[in-house]
Amino acid sequence: MPLPKSDYLSDTWKDGLFTNKVVFCTGGAGTICSAQVRALVHLGADAFIVGRNVEKTEKVAKDIATVRPGARVIGLGAVDVRSFDSLNNAVVRCVKELGAIDYVIAGAAGNFLASINQLSVNAFKSVMEIDVLGSYNTLKATIPHLVESAAKHRVDSDTLKPSPAGTGGRIIFVSATLHYTGTPFQGHVAVAKAGIDALSNTVALEFGPLGVTSNVIAPGPIASTEGLDRLLPTEQKEKVIKSQPLGRLGSVRDIADATVYLFADTGSYVSGQILVVDGASWRISSSAGSANYPDFLISGDTFQSVKGKKAKL
């Protein structure tokens, strides 16, 4: 049964907003990225999502396709964003089967809790390769198609009217807020996300003259996501919710709505920006919810019972 629209998209946006557009998404089977893609498909886009797990990626693609009759959503597993050739082959197939790439979401990521003492060199390298190199590979493989799309869909500089065919030539990198103040047990991810932010800023400057926009969405704590379940012990969840400035966790719909904003005409003059969607969460103590800081570190304990934690770091 299809998800109710209210779970992944607000009523703000008109149907058909992205008709005849194609979105390419890495990490597309994940909780957040699948909601982003689902919203775009609901509003008319076709989609190509990639991931490591074949069965999961194909299953999520089929599920996303149920949001709109006639939607074309392809899910391709066994794609490693750390390998440019693997990713580029997926891009070639996307263009061959769906005709173009107008929007890109670079969302593949790796994460787990670990102090620097507990974090091996290989574990640190793995996160950097998935997040930073993976984002760069995604950009390199798709940017020729984004430039082509941008040329077809530029906003008229005199009338400020968008192309009759709508928008195109836009990329969003999914980042985080961990590096704004520093976050214990997340040093590996914080370094990676800072690199992604820098990459997006450079893309905005180098490809802006060609009509391409590049932005970052930085989610805060989002309810019912793999990331939150992995990083936040159950006994800490109530405490974290109470500490939020808006008194609640975010939802995947919040991220999906931000995505539509940046890809629609509303985002035509928004580039080189970091759109933080966290309800002001990052402005409170960065140690909240990470564990009993600093006692956890002083005790010499290691993370053992967090859902999804890697067995060896």
- Given a cut of 90, whether residue 299 has pLDDT beyond it is no
Residue 305 clears pLDDT 50, i.e. is over it: no
**139-182, pLDDT tens digit by residue?**
999 999 999 999 999 877 766 676 777 899 999 999 999 999 98
| pLDDT over 50 (residue 120) | yes
Give CA separation, 299 vs 30, 179, 219, 302, in Å. Answer: 34, 25, 31, 9
What pLDDT shows up at residue 155?
Answer: 79
Average model confidence (pLDDT) for the chain? 89
Q: Is 139 left (phi over 0), alpha (psi -120 to 50) or beta?
A: alpha
Q: Would you state the pLDDT for residue 145?
A: 98
Contact 229, 270 (CB under 8 A): no
- Domain membership of residue 311 (yes or no) is no
Q: Of the residues 34, 115, 135, 175, which is catalytic?
A: 175
Total domain count, the chain: 1
Is 313 within the bounds of a domain?
no
Tabulate helix, strand, coil % of the chain (nearest 5): 45, 10, 40
* Residue 13 backbone class (left: φ over 0; alpha: ψ -120 to 50; beta: rest): beta
Q: Can you give the pLDDT at residue 135?
A: 98
> Is residue 307 one of the residues assigned to a domain?
no
Q: What is the CATH number of the domain that holds 49?
A: 3.40.50.720
Phi-psi region of 99 (alpha: psi -120 to 50; beta: other; left: phi over 0): left
Q: How far apart are CA 282 and CA 89, in angstroms?
A: 38
* 271 has catalytic annotation: no
Catalytic one of 115, 135, 149, 193? 193
- Identify whether 215 is part of a domain: yes
What per-residue confidence (pLDDT) applies to 154?
A: 83
- With beta carbons less than 8 A apart as the criterion, state whether 228 and 198 touch: no
Q: Is residue 309 part of a domain?
A: no
For residue 71, pLDDT over 50 is answered with yes
Domain of residue 288, residue span: 5-299
Residue 24, domain member (yes or no): yes
88 membership: H or E segment, kind and range: helix 84-98
Tell me what pLDDT residue 307 has: 40
Q: For residue range 257-273, list pLDDT tens digits in order.
A: 999 999 999 999 999 99
Name which residue leads in pLDDT, 49 or 4.
49
Is 175 an active-site residue?
yes
What is the DSSP code string of 271-303?
-SEEEEESTTGGGS-TTTTTSSTTHHHHHT---
The predicted structure's pLDDT at residue 243: 80
Kindly report the pTM of this predicted structure. 0.89
**Which CA distances in Å does 185 have to 190, 285, 302?**
10, 14, 10
Whether 116 maps to a domain, the answer reads yes
- Whether 72 is covered by a domain: the verdict is yes
Name which residue leads in pLDDT, 300 or 104.
Answer: 104
